[in-house]
Amino acid sequence: MRVFLLLISIVASLLAVLPARAHDRFFPRQEGEKVRYAVVIEFGRGYISGVGIIASQEEEICGVVFNEFGVSVMSFSYDPRRNRVKILDAAGKLNRWYVRRIIRKDMVHVMNALQMSETTYVNEKRRIRYTFTPLDSQE
């Protein structure tokens, strides 16, 4: 009977720890921690896909999205205290003031969604879908 109760308590403690670890893999929480994503940004006439890396540095979160060819599509920084995103670099057609403004506002929602372990954000007004799927880290 004691062995049975011991096994139940071990299983219960493991189940309590597992969701917390799964939650941590969506968003970097500690200094120097990195999370890698498969990124797909879908919009009316096409899509952008590639790999995204988000890393925690000092007081902010920095991120970059690369396409399949290794070209940087955009880089950004996120200040969690002020809940603000700054687009540092955008490539090609994304480097227009009105497009950067939309991406900046949407990335705030994406960062908030990732903190709540959600992988998708949809901008209903502009019909833009952002999907950030965590990749398994093999470090």
Helix (H) and strand (E) counts in the chain: 2, 7
The predicted-structure confidence for 79-135, as pLDDT tens digits, reads as follows 999 999 999 999 998 999 999 999 999 999 999 999 999 999 999 999 999 999 999
Q: Please, what's the b/e burial string for 12-47 (b: 16 or more CB within 10 A of its CB; e: otherwise)? A: eeeeeeeeeeeeeebbbeeeeeebbbebbbeeeeee
pTM metric for this prediction: 0.80
Q: What angle do CA 115, 120, 124 make, to 5 degrees?
A: 120
Q: How far apart are CA 103 and CA 35, in angstroms?
A: 20
The predicted-structure confidence for 10-37, as pLDDT tens digits, reads as follows 544 444 444 444 445 789 988 999 999 9
Task: Looking at 2-138, list the stretches that DSSP marks H as alpha helix, in order from N- to C-terminal side.
Answer: 2-24, 97-115
